[in-house]
Structure 1
């Protein structure tokens, strides 16, 4: 089915694909394209893994809105995703790539993320798709279906239009952004960022470190953290196996409170609010076993949380000066400040870290990294002049 609507300022055909034959035909046509725009619509409110509800694909000449519920085999898309001659275009690619990896078993490559690239062209670090389309294409997108149930069928015309909009402008945006990045000599700056998006390691859940993301985990002692690591790992694996949201298995608050109480029996565990209702006897035994395992681990195996970089009193002054310098260079180079150097990165440099710090690598080091090291070494001085911040070299 070809939709009658034509987006403003384009000559692109939009096709709703709900059978295997039409999808395979689209794949054959797309193999000759230099670009493939990709987006997904999904739901995950009631599941651990995202439930793919719609897949949008676009070349320069057509858009395919693919209904995965009606397709027998999505793996026919693998050759497109892996074709090194076709640049796969995304906006804020993270979740889309996670879903594609789970559905197809491969990660698209090469990739170009318009949100990542926009930060090198003067836009805010996490600019939304709609504002970027308006800025580069002069089109204001409708938001009527931004919060919709994509699992319901049939899909309305407005839903299909909304879905098509999410990819139809990406090829034009890519070429505009690529031209501007090349003019600034910055296109190669994104190589490592885009390569990382296609690295499978970024989409594998490390269950052993999940405890660090628990709410209020900082209230626990190191011994209790050892228990939290075990319980959070059990919760993660259980949620994956049952395909349930982790909070449906146990909430963060329940995990932390059971560890704070150092519960060693089911009766002690059920003293935590809601535990009795949440856990069956078998699960309760498993949680208690995890608690005991963590509490009885030798001290040398107890984990330690990373110290909060924001609360490091000994680097506050350094951070103030470093952020002032980064803000200046970001403005001069028309780059989002957080893209150039985040607060956390600056704090690590101030504390003496020199390896595995993005601001001390590649183009970031050239623009600001070396200056930050000189500033900390007393080789640079900052002052205020008539036009703002002034950077001068000291006598060294």
Structure 2
């Protein structure tokens, strides 16, 4: 494989990308920094085809990324990434769209029974026998000039990715598991996964209590913080930390002057504009509507019996996943099993396609009392039960 020097000008970038677009797939990786910004700062992009690999510098004054963005939008070229969530977030920020089609090698590894979050280093070692040098992993990618070691380290990731991809595809085809990835690939292609909704940002926080008045203030404060952080392009924690936000929601200051006595806030907020906007958010907040109130537990609407059935379904999933050598999360999610335990039958992925064949039929039998567990020789076994007789109507 040909390895090019670092690309720092648009003409060279366009020339190489034109060649990459003649292939059916291209491997992509990025290096970025996000410690000091709200949006991740793209510092380096690495690309590889089966024939060549290179990195380009998006911070170069002589480089326009348009040829690369056109490649991302080219639906005739499959984009191969590993654990590409943060890379995709960057691309969505740049273009407003998720690159399509996508192939994530970490998701593919789930279908191969290699765990739910197998590391890139372990994946490379498994398929190629190579040990990746991670010495430059925690480097400052925004600092210029980049060293030759940094550049080679970064390009190495996509060259290995180019070796992994065909081997993983071959194994997926051999085991007839390619279709298993379709739903996961569709899920990671959904743009809403990469855009924070200020209206929903409060849901990521630890709740001070369940009072509607407090949660209404928490929602308003989280929304205010999200907008402040975006406008200033700083991490949201630089505006106000989570615990301070929760304290403000639970014990709101009566006046802006009181902000000077709030732990975690600068005393200057007692008289400046950002302090005024914080107070406005508190004063305009109403109680959280009943429809938005969080569930009292993690299983909304489930009876105690249904909760126990959901636990049995999760045990069944572990057994089936172990037998077939696939990561449980690829087969079923907790919310789907809880819905099945709660009586839902329509629209559940676990009752459709390959998931029904592998897990759904047995899950349904367990819920309906046609499947049970037993211990034989110290090992857990499943056994078919006689269908339970229908309950007789109450004569009263």
TM-score (norm 1): 0.89
Q: Which residue of 2 aligns with 1:4?
A: none
Change (3 A) 1:301 1:387: closer
Q: Which residue of 2 aligns with 1:326?
A: 317
Is 2:23 the partner of 1:33? yes
Q: Which residue of 2 aligns with 1:6?
A: none
Matches within 5 A, 1:4-43: 11-43=1-33
Return the match for 2:379 from 385, 388, 396. 388
Matches within 5 A, 1:153-192: 153-192=144-183
Q: Which stretch of structure 1 is more off in the superposition, 277-286 or 131-140?
A: 277-286
Matches within 5 A, 1:80-229: 80-214=71-205, 216-229=206-219
Change (3 A) 1:76 1:328: same
Structure 2 gap ranges (5+): 388-396
Change (3 A) 1:18 1:317: same
Deviation at 1:290, TM superposition (A): 1.4
Deviations 1:81-138 (Å, cap 9, x if unpaired)? 2222211100001110110122244422111000001001010110011100110111
Look up the SS of the partner of 2:6 in the other structure.
Answer: strand
Q: Which residue of 1 aligns with 2:297?
A: 308
Q: Distance in 2 between matches of 1:238 and 1:162?
A: 36
Matched residues, number: 383
Deviation at 1:162, TM superposition (A): 1.2
Q: Which residue of 1 aligns with 2:70?
A: 79
Structure 1 gap ranges (5+): 1-10
Q: Which residue of 2 aligns with 1:261?
A: 251
Deviation at 1:241, TM superposition (A): 0.9
Q: Distance in 1 between matches of 2:344 and 2:364?
A: 11
Look up the SS of the partner of 1:309 in the other structure.
Answer: coil
Q: Distance in 1 between matches of 2:315 and 2:130?
A: 36
Return the match for 1:274 from 264, 270, 276. 264
Change (3 A) 1:220 1:275: farther
Tell me if structure 1 keeps the 8 A contact 2:199–2:219. Answer: yes
Return the match for 1:252 from 221, 226, 242. 242
Look up the SS of the partner of 2:16 in the other structure.
Answer: helix
Deviation at 1:19, TM superposition (A): 1.1
- RMSD (Å), alpha carbons: 2.3
Q: Distance in 2 between matches of 1:278 and 1:351?
A: 52
Tell me if structure 2 keeps the 8 A contact 1:227–1:259. Answer: yes
Q: Distance in 1 between matches of 2:343 and 2:282?
A: 36
Deviation at 1:316, TM superposition (A): 5.2
